[in-house]
């Protein structure tokens, strides 16, 4: 029996069309399938499948809320889905490797890391497996990969010979909760958050008690000493520096649902904690979450956003004064973002079961 041709709607919605139905049920199945496809299209919004219609420029899902966003929005470029798989369960932690010209990210529940190669769009689906249920990834200024491993409650570095060095797994004699995201400073210090999500369920790690107050930490690049630098956020998640490294922004996915900003002092401590922005948005009954965040060279903050629905989920762009100036709307919850490409002008977005990318006229402030 020949395999039926998969319709564009079915391909986009992820329906399995590999089984043919008896002829007597053909019309009924066709009508039910058409209704399901229509509902799926409505639920998921825009079609990013291989047979999707072309996008008429400017891309309607690049939304200006304040004229200052127009400086960064290109009129002749689309939002592209560069990878999608029904087997991928929760994409997180994108990091750009400029030397290898590849994007790395985690699929936390499947305990693996994937790698998309810019040269030909090929994806290595098990770049690392197992990967310690890794979440956030970045690269240090020597090109070595840093990962936050939920499953082992630690921050690690992958060395040039392929070995793994544990950088942090305890503080004050107690194991960490489950490090979540990390950024590097040019002086060699590594800053990370520890909200504990990977220990709250077996789905993303190993369920167990949280023994630390959820906090932000700094690993001294010279001594390896670990210092707690902030515990004001309820669930500190994504983090990034301002372009000049004088401010640290921390996304809070706990009760505050905001982004904090701190002053970074010369000795590596933080001061003047305050709310940078709330994730509450006019027109929606409740605030969503900002998860991963990145700064561009002008100091704008590009924040992944989700858990509210159509028109909210995607990326929110905030001016340094805290004004929400633009949106990138996605049909899935966006977990994290990073700038990449040779000119650091391409924004990569991990979003549930997909990875999206869009060129901008912004440039990422830092290497990843």
pLDDT of 18 over the 50 cut: no
Q: What is the pLDDT of residues 274-285, one digit of tens each?
A: 999 999 999 999
Give the total number of structural domains in the chain.
Answer: 2
Shared-domain flag, residues 157 and 27: no
Higher pLDDT, 286 or 12: 286
Asked if the structure places residue 365 within a domain, the reply is no
Shared-domain flag, residues 140 and 164: yes
Shared-domain flag, residues 240 and 353: yes
Average pLDDT for residues 186-204, to the nearest whole number?
98
CA distance 245 to 231: 20
Shared-domain flag, residues 165 and 238: yes
Average pLDDT for residues 37-42, to the nearest whole number?
36
Q: What domain range includes position 90?
A: 62-359
Band (pLDDT 50/70/90 cuts) for residue 44 is: low
Domain boundary among 53, 71, 87: 53
pLDDT (0 to 100) of residue 36 = 36
Asked if the structure places residue 368 within a domain, the reply is no
Asked if the structure places residue 367 within a domain, the reply is no
pLDDT (0 to 100) of residue 32 = 40
Look over the chain and give the mean of its residue pLDDT values, rounded to a whole number.
Answer: 90
CA distances in angstroms from 65 to 62, 83, 157, 234, 283, listed in the order given: 10, 28, 40, 29, 13
How far is C-alpha 53 from the geometric centre of its chain's CA atoms? 27
Output the six-digit token pair for 69.
């966003």
Band (pLDDT 50/70/90 cuts) for residue 46 is: confident
Tokens 């950088």 correspond to 167
Shared-domain flag, residues 104 and 48: no
Shared-domain flag, residues 184 and 223: yes
Asked if the structure places residue 208 within a domain, the reply is yes
pLDDT of 152 over the 90 cut: yes
Shared-domain flag, residues 22 and 149: no
Query: What is the three-class DSSP state of 222?
Result: coil
Closest C-alpha to 86, from 110, 66, 121, 111: 110
Shared-domain flag, residues 135 and 45: no
Band (pLDDT 50/70/90 cuts) for residue 109 is: very high
Q: In what order do the strands lie in the sheet with 62-64?
A: 62-64, 324-329, 314-318, 301-306, 289-295
Output the six-digit token pair for 93.
């932690």
Kind plus residue range of the DSSP H or E element containing 346: strand 346-351
Q: How many CB atoms lie within 10 A of CB 18?
A: 8
Shared-domain flag, residues 145 and 206: yes
SS3 content of the chain, % helix, strand, coil (to 5): 10, 40, 50
Shared-domain flag, residues 267 and 355: yes
Asked if the structure places residue 366 within a domain, the reply is no
Closest C-alpha to 337, from 90, 121, 93: 93
Shared-domain flag, residues 5 and 89: no
Q: Report residue 41: phi and psi, to 5°.
A: -65, -40
pLDDT of 33 over the 70 cut: no
- Say which CATH number the domain at 273 has: 2.120.10.30
Average pLDDT for residues 55-79, to the nearest whole number?
97
Shared-domain flag, residues 195 and 93: yes
pLDDT (0 to 100) of residue 312 = 97
Average pLDDT for residues 49-78, to the nearest whole number?
95
């Amino acid at each position: 029996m020949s395999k039926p041709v998969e319709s564009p709607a079915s391909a986009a919605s992820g329906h399995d069309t590999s089984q043919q139905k008896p002829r007597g049920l053909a019309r009924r199945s066709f009508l039910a399938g058409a209704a399901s496809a229509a509902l799926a299209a409505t639920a998921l919004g825009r079609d990013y499948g291989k047979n999707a219609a072309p996008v008429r420029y400017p891309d309607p899902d690049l939304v200006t809320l304040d004229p200052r966003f127009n400086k960064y929005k290109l009129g002749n470029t689309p939002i592209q889905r560069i990878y999608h798989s029904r087997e991928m369960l929760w994409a997180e932690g994108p990091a750009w490797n400029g030397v290898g010209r590849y994007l790395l990210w985690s699929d936390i529940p499947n305990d693996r890391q994937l790698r998309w190669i810019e040269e030909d769009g090929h994806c290595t689906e098990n770049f690392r497996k197992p990967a310690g249920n890794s979440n956030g990834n970045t690269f240090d200024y020597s090109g070595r990969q840093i990962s936050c491993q939920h499953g082992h409650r630690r921050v690690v570095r992958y060395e040039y010979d392929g070995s793994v060095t544990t950088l942090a797994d305890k503080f004050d004699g107690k194991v960490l909760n489950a490090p979540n995201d990390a950024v590097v400073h040019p002086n060699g210090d590594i800053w990370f958050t520890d909200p504990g999500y990977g220990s709250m369920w077996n789905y993303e790690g190993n369920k167990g008690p949280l023994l630390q107050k959820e906090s932000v930490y700094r690993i001294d690049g010279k001594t390896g000493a670990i210092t707690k630098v902030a515990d004001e956020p309820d669930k500190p998640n994504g983090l990034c520096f301002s372009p000049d490294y004088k401010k640290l922004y921390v996304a809070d996915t706990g009760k505050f649902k905001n982004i904090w900003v701190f002053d970074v002092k010369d000795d590596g401590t933080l001061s003047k904690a305050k709310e940078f922005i709330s994730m509450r948005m006019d027109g929606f009954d409740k605030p969503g979450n900002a998860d991963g965040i990145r700064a561009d060279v002008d100091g704008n903050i590009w924040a992944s956003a989700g858990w509210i629905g159509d028109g909210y989920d995607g990326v929110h762009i905030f001016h340094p004064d805290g004004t929400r100036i633009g949106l990138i709307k996605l049909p899935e919850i966006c977990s994290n973002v990073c700038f990449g490409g040779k000119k650091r002008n391409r924004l990569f977005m991990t979003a549930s079961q997909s990875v999206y990318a869009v060129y901008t006229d912004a440039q990422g402030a830092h290497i990843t």
